Structure 1
């Protein structure tokens, strides 16, 4: 049954005198891949941190599966990949995955197969026994993505997941996201790659702390009378 994985109602967030989020309203249903796009500083990461309870909103509310975050019982349902990699560099890739799998409450019997599956998706199988301190930046991003995918979470929140990932692997990652969407799970992904935004079910365009548009890529292109999501983005900014 379709339900709202994320519900944002009149969300306001301030940092000092600056209002970063201005009356943000957004609903993301299960079974959908939603792209959150906007220029740097528009509020994309602040929206994510507010919905996860990492930042306290000044007004309005942010709900995940109808509950306010942080909520320990919901953590096992959420896979989160931040912009900055939060990895234990003195451990191997496999040890990082084992640690986070235990944190997510995955059954010890299922952990080896789960690690094997996610490492294959992000093309890290050959490097699992290598210390993360020896990983390249792109490898660290791939490991962070594998950690987010652990346990087949009902909600996947990815903040710029494909930065530093080569085009072939990026295509493979998006194939996996499409599969997840078909399983009635929800995906929220921020991206600066407009070609990726074309692959989502719905796009939320945030400018100056407000959601300026939220619809399917096809409908947005029709509404703005342009051929690409990149042109939607530029026209909304007044650059086209």
Structure 2
């Protein structure tokens, strides 16, 4: 039997006053899938993620994350997800070990379970030799790896990576993506937002949003074909230009 999807939305809709941020979103993301959520600024990505995290209630429609309803079981949802942003959220004055212990505790891991998990986790992410180093002294690539370790210390079903490689050098980005696929192979679903289209092409599937609507979904090759483009970057530029052209002109400007 096919495992139930980790993310399932049906007609998910979010309105802020007169602004429709997300419109009738139907989406399924499988366990262990590396999934890219893409679109220009204002396309609805952030609102979608905040709803899936149980932080914002939908106006209508339904969504389940790891089998829990985002509206009625938001606390259970938050226990089964991890979140990493481009700002990392690390405590610079704490060591790598202290950051990991803190975040593991926040996610509910304590005592022997926490110690055993972190020993295994730091070894897998090659952080052992830096455990006593202060986070603030790490390079961008190592901060990135530590932030990912903090976000996945509790073995979440789903981890959100929101622009996780912004400002990181190309070599560190490649290493990071190798780690992402290692996590996925262990069964963690990874949802990524990125403005680097070479990274988008590393995702197993992509969903493109535009002005709150899901307008393309599939493998990178399938999405490119849907839009009659040559590359994923061409699709992104096409949508960006279309959205900018549809924006109302500010008063006093032509």
TM-score, length of structure 1 as denominator length: 0.85
Question: Match of 1:235?
Answer: 238
Q: Which runs of 4+ in 1 moved over 6 A?
A: 120-123
Q: Secondary structure at the match of 2:49?
A: helix
Q: Distance in 2 between matches of 1:6 and 1:90?
A: 36
- 1:174 paired to 2:181: no
Deviates more, 1:2-11 or 1:73-82: 73-82
Deviates more, 1:10-19 or 1:205-214: 10-19
**C-alpha displacement of 1:13:** 1.7
**C-alpha displacement of 1:196:** 0.8
- 1:5 paired to 2:6: yes
Q: Distance in 1 between matches of 2:74 and 2:226?
A: 38
Summarize the Cα distance change of 1:117–1:166 in structure 2 as closer, same or farther, 3 Å threshold. farther
**C-alpha displacement of 1:158:** 1.1
- 1:42 paired to 2:57: no
**C-alpha displacement of 1:132:** 4.0
Question: Match of 1:162?
Answer: 165
Summarize the Cα distance change of 1:116–1:66 in structure 2 as closer, same or farther, 3 Å threshold. closer
Please give the per-residue CA displacement for 1:4-44, whole angstroms capped at 9, x wherever unaligned.
11112222222333221122221111131110111122121
Q: Equivalences for 1:1-240 in 2 at 5 Å?
A: 1-69=2-70, 70-106=73-109, 108-112=111-115, 114-115=117-118, 118-119=121-122, 127-133=130-136, 140-237=143-240
Deviates more, 1:139-148 or 1:94-103: 139-148
Q: Distance in 2 between matches of 1:104 and 1:176?
A: 21
Q: Secondary structure at the match of 2:102?
A: helix
Provide structure 2 residue ranges, at least 5 long, that are not aligned to the other structure.
243-254
Q: Distance in 1 between matches of 2:172 and 2:128?
A: 13
**C-alpha displacement of 1:139:** 5.3
Please give the per-residue CA displacement for 1:192-232, whole angstroms capped at 9, x wherever unaligned.
11011111111000111111101111112223333321112
**C-alpha displacement of 1:83:** 4.5
Provide structure 1 residue ranges, at least 5 long, that are not aligned to the other structure.
none
Contact 2:160 2:190 in 1 (8 A): yes
Bigger Rg, structure 1 or 2: 2
Q: Distance in 2 between matches of 1:198 and 1:74?
A: 28
Deviates more, 1:67-76 or 1:24-33: 67-76
Question: Match of 2:246?
Answer: none
Summarize the Cα distance change of 1:171–1:121 in structure 2 as closer, same or farther, 3 Å threshold. farther
Q: Distance in 2 between matches of 1:51 and 1:7?
A: 10
Q: Distance in 1 between matches of 2:139 and 2:16?
A: 34
